Structure 1
Amino acid sequence: MKTRHGPRERIVAAAYRLFYEQGYGATGINQIIEEASVAKASLYQLFRSKDELLLEYLKQRDHEWWTEFDAFRAGIPEGRKMLLALFDYRLKLVLEHRYRGCSFKRIAYELPDLDGPAAAVIREHKLGVKAFIATHLKIHNPSLSRQETADLTEFVMDLFEGSGNQTYLLRNTKPVEDAKRLLQKFIP
C-alpha cells in the first residue's frame, strides 16, 4: 500500500515541527530522519544539507503564514480594520502555538550569518508584512505624505513585532491587546 506522503513531504513535515518546537540548532539530522521514517541517503538526495532543509521550512512557513492570514482576513474591509486584523491574527497564532513566538524570529536568533539565504527569506517575510501595513495605512488615509506613511509604517511594525516579543516573554496576550488598542488610538 502506498503511503499518503512521499519522503520529501515527510522530511519537511518533521523538520517543520522540530525546528519550531525545539529550535534549528537543537534539531539533529538523525532526529528528522527517524521522525520522517526515511533513510539518511533519501534525505541527502532531496536536501544537500540541513541548511537547505531550513530554507524549505522557511519558504513553506512564509507561504502558510500568508495563506492562513488571507483566510483569516477574508471579508474584512481594507485600511484601518485590516491593520487591526493583523493584530487579531497575531493573537490567534499566539494562542494556537501556546506562546512559542514567531517562527521566523526563533530561527533568526539562531542564525550565525544574518547575510545568508535563510536570513534573506526571513527578511523578505518581514518586509512583506511591512508592505502590507504601508498599503493599508495609505488606503485608510490617502492624504498621508510618503514620509508620514513611512513613519507610521515603522510605528505599526514596531508595535506588531514588539508586542509579539513581549507576549512570548510574558506568556500572556496583554502586550498584543495593548498594541492593538494603541493602534486604534493613534490611527483613528
Structure 2
Amino acid sequence: MKQRGQVVIDKILDTAEHLFYTQGYCNTGINQIIEEADIAKASLYKHFETKTDLLIAYIERAHERWFSRLEATVNKAEDPGKKLLAVFDYHIERQQIREFGGCPFIKVNDEAGTNDPRVLAQVQKMKLHSKEYIKALVTGSAHKKELTNEELTETVYTMLEGAIVTASVFKNSGPIESAKQIIQKFI
C-alpha cells in the first residue's frame, strides 16, 4: 500500500503527464494541475518547488515507465534480430495509444529544453539511454554486417526517431512500419 505522500505525488505526476502531453508544457499552468489533481497548492509545492522540478520528475517517471514497457515487449522475442525489430513494434503500439501525438520527450524538449539546461540534460539522458539499448540489441543481433554495429545503431536510432515524428505528422504508423522493413534488410 502506498504512503499518502506517494499517492499525492502520483496524482500530481499523472495529471502533469496528461496535461503536458495533450496541451503542452507552456500551456499548462500550476493552478490547472492543482485543480485537476484535486490537491492543495501546498501539497504540490511540498513535493515540487517549481514547475521545472515537476517537469523533470515527469520526464524521469515517464522514461522509467516507457523503458520498462519497451523491455517487456522486446523480451517477448526470442530471436536476437526479432528483438531489434520489436523496438519498432513497441513504438507503433505507443503511437497508436497516443493517437500519433509524437514523442513526449521531443515535445518537452521543443518547449522547455531550449530554456532550461536541466530539462535539456534530462531529455538527452533519456535519448542516450534509448540509443545505448538499441546498440546492445544491434550487437547481440548477429546482423548481416553490411554496416558496423555503430553504423547500424545510428541508422536504427535515427530512422526510428524520424519515423516517429513523421508518424505524428501523418497520423498513422506507416513511417514506423517502413523504417522497420528497411532495418529488417540489414538483420
TM over 0.5, shorter chain: yes
Q: Distance in 1 between matches of 2:42 and 2:97?
A: 35
Match of 1:116 in 2: 117
Q: 1:5 to 1:55 in 2, by over 3 A?
A: closer
Q: How many Å apart are 1:138 and its aligned residue?
A: 1.4
CA distance in 2 between counterparts of 1:78 and 1:120 reads: 34
CA apart distance, 1:142: 7.8
How far the C-alpha of 1:95 sits from its partner, in A, is 0.6
Task: Report Cα offsets for 1:30-62 as digits up to 9, x if no partner.
Answer: 000001111212211211000000011000001
Question: Following the alignment from structure 1 to structure 2, what is the Cα–Cα distance between the partners of residues 168 and 111?
Answer: 20
Decide whether the 8 Å contact of 2:84 with 2:141 is kept in 1.
no
- What do you get for the CA RMSD once the two structures are aligned? 2.3
Residues 84-103 of structure 1, C-alpha deviations (whole Å, 9 max, x = no match): 00000000001111111111
Structure 2: stretches of 5+ with no match in the other structure: none
SS class of match (1:110): helix
Partner of 2:57 in structure 1? 56
Runs of 4 or more consecutive aligned structure 1 residues displaced over 6 Å after TM superposition: 2-5
SS of the residue corresponding to residue 69 of structure 1 reads helix
- Tell me how far apart the structure 2 counterparts of residues 54 and 80 of structure 1 sit (CA, whole Å): 36
Conservation of the 8 A alpha-carbon contact between 1:24 and 1:107: yes
Q: Which residue of 2 aligns with 1:66?
A: 67
Q: Residue 92 of structure 2 aligns with which residue?
A: 91
Q: Which runs of structure 2 are paired with 1:1-188 in the superposition (5 Å)?
A: 6-77=7-78, 79-113=80-114, 116-141=117-142, 148-185=148-185, 187-188=186-187
Amino acid at match of 1:125: M
Q: Distance in 2 between matches of 1:112 and 1:160?
A: 21
Long gaps (5+) in structure 1: none
Cα offset, 1:80, TM superposition: 1.5
Contact kept, 8 Å, 2:113 with 2:119, in 1: the verdict is: no
CA change 1:134–1:6 in 2 (3 A) is closer
TM-score normalised by structure 2 residue count: 0.90
C-alpha separation in 2, matches of 1:101 and 1:47: 26
Q: Any idea what the Cα deviations from partners look like across 1:107-134, whole Å, max 9, x if unmatched?
A: 0110253761222121111111111111
Query: 3-state DSSP class of the match of 1:45?
Result: helix
TM-score (normalizing by structure 1): 0.90
Q: In the superposition, relative to structure 1, how do residues 31 and 135 fare at CA in structure 2: closer, same or farther (>3 Å)?
A: same
CA gap of 1:39–1:150, structure 2 versus 1, over 3 A, is same
What is the distance in 1 between the residues matched to 2:143 and 2:182?
21
